[in-house]
A = this chain, B = another copy of it.
Amino acid sequence: MRTIERLPKRQRQQQLSRLIEDNPFMTDRELNRLLKVSIQTIRLDRLELGIPELRERVKLMAERSYDSVRSLPLHEVIGDIIDLQLDKSGISIFEIREEHVFSRTGIARGHHVFAQANSLAVAVINDEIALTASADIRFVRSVALGEKCIAKAYVSSISGGSSKAKVDVFTYVGEEMVFQGHFVIYRSAGDEKLEGGDEHADRN
């Protein structure tokens, strides 16, 4: 057996890779039944392909998700709030990373930029519960992978003791403005028919 026609092995190994890729929870036993080869062959194949055993695969996945939970994009506030004067103004920083961009072009997806601004607008309102009621937004220029977005929020009006506040948010990359939004935020004071959006999250 020199070189020709040893495809079946290659093919099987490709299949094996694919199977494990799209269901990493398969045991060797299940795989040997699916691929109609002995369990030893499966193990040899994994060895050659550098695919770790089930438990290691599962552990790796868990570790990855454990790490990423610590910096999860859509839980709590998007972006790090670095300055906050309640009912007045606030500043947050948000770095555009792999998971935020469209892979073909490296341009940030709009909702991330929006989410940073929205989070900040909500955080700056000094209330137990604050929800976005409406917003008028503009993406001035596209934001690329690796760029740091600095969002600055200014409360422009707070209606008396009651329910609405207006917040303007401007997001910059360096000197350039990339986004602007005018938000109307509902506050908890005196209304039960809350209107949407985001609640107040921790302010650390």
Contacts and interface: CB of A to CB of B under 8 A. Distances in A.
Interface of A: 24-25, 55, 58-59, 61-66, 68, 73-75, 78, 99-100, 102, 104-105, 107-115, 118-119, 122, 129, 131-143, 178-179, 193-199, 201
18 contacts: A61-B62, A61-B65, A62-B65, A64-B65, A75-B99, A109-B198, A109-B199, A110-B197, A111-B115, A111-B118, A111-B119, A131-B142, A134-B137, A136-B137, A140-B195, A141-B194, A141-B196, A142-B195
Contacts of A114: 111, 114-115, 118
A141 B111 contact: no
A125 to B, nearest CB: 13
Interface-central residue, A100, A135, A193, A198, by most chain B CB under 10 Å? A198
A139 B134 contact: yes
A117 to B, nearest CB: 9
A133 B132 CA distance: 20
Interface-central residue, A24, A112, A178, A199, by most chain B CB under 10 Å? A199
Contacts of A59: 25, 58, 62
Given A100-B74, A137-B137, A107 B194 contact: yes
Nearest to A106: B199
A104 to B, nearest CB: 7
A113 B63 CA distance: 29
A108 B75 CA distance: 11
B198 A179 contact: no
A43 B1 CA distance: 55
A136 B136 contact: yes
A143 B12 CA distance: 48
B142 A194 contact: yes
